[in-house]
Chain A
Amino acid sequence: MDRRDFMRTVAGYGVGAAWLLSGAGRVLAQGSPAAGPPATGKPGARPPDLVAVLGGEPAALFDAGIAALGGMKAFVRPGQSVVIKPNVGWDQPPEVAANTNPALVARIVEHCLDAGARKVYVFDNSCDAWTLCYRSSMIERYVKEAGGEMVPANSSGYFQEVVFPGAKAVKKALVHELVVESDVYINVPVLKNHSGAGMTAAMKNLMGTVWDRQFFHRNDLDQCIADACLFRKPTLNVIDAYKVMKTGGPRGYSSSVYDVAKFQILSTDIVAADAAAARTLGFDPSRFRYIGLAAERGSGRADLSRCSLWREPRSCSPESPGSSPSASPGRLRAWPPSSRRPPSSAGSTAPRSARSAWHRTLPSPRASGSGRGTADSGAAGRRSGRRFSPR
């Protein structure tokens, strides 16, 4: 028994037997952390393997996407604990899009709580100083307001050594205890160009669940990224492609080129999610070696033609997996009508509601950020490869 175990036991007794019983029950019940395929709202209907949502603000895109997968209740049962792993790697404000969109993370927290989650945790093992990243990304603030808990990952004390079954490079590593212990594991990366790995999306984001990131660089980065999901595959992957950094990733420079795609990918298959992300960047998935390595290992499907796809809005969708259940009331705000608009208005003309600046709903943590280009310029900025003026 180490000191932490001892302290836990002591504190555990402190809150009484009732907690101990429920807590112990939870620990026993989660023998196998990987969750099975989610059920749809309609019994008998198979959910799509991958959902792609286009044209709307990040939170609205998620509302539509999760509905197509049967709602958050298909993933989170009442009383379960949820860990959300966004990308909070850099001390950069939301408009640089180096970190996951804060409004999206907050929306996922709200959906989880609405589905009855006991506790929703959010963390990342940041590259820059973690307190600055948590603040500048505004994820900390949004998550708190949504009712989630922002968790530190700045000390190896929060990590547990686990085995990665069948891994070629990362056989053992220190992984954040929330990934080990939480009932539901939701991976919410931002899609970006990456100087080392070429692209960062779902699989690369899992590097932030591991303590020693230098190990990844030292021991064949692509193989390590492919191995990273072998300890535990996320229950759900949500790739934020609202504003895609196409050059100068992962940190983002004043010269970085962007594509304001207003797009989102949701999948339970982490490899398929990355293959779709590669396509979103305009590349064949084979360009990124780790996608092929992960598919080879059987972590998922790199070939999107073998996946059932659901496109939202339904303009280009070839098949219907049944009626999408509407989001339940309660904690959730009403859906923005933009996610439900007819196909004719999709994409080219963003509705008024979609143009509202999501990153201005709360004041920017840095006063100097006001002069910069913003992501909410609508369709005009989409193809122009918007550049930010230097700070």
Chain B
Amino acid sequence: MMSLPFVLFACGLGAAWTSRRVAALGFWVAGVLMLLVLFRMHATDVLNIAL
């Protein structure tokens, strides 16, 4: 699951190399969203700081 962003980015690069720009951008958006979802799942501890 943690490797999914890299898989999506790799697919996006493949699409870009074959001149499918929209598909490349679509894979990139999916990769960034996956990155943020995984970040949310891992950032569960309360930070020990007072802002």
Say whether A associates with B: no
- Residues of A at under 8 Å CB distance from B? none
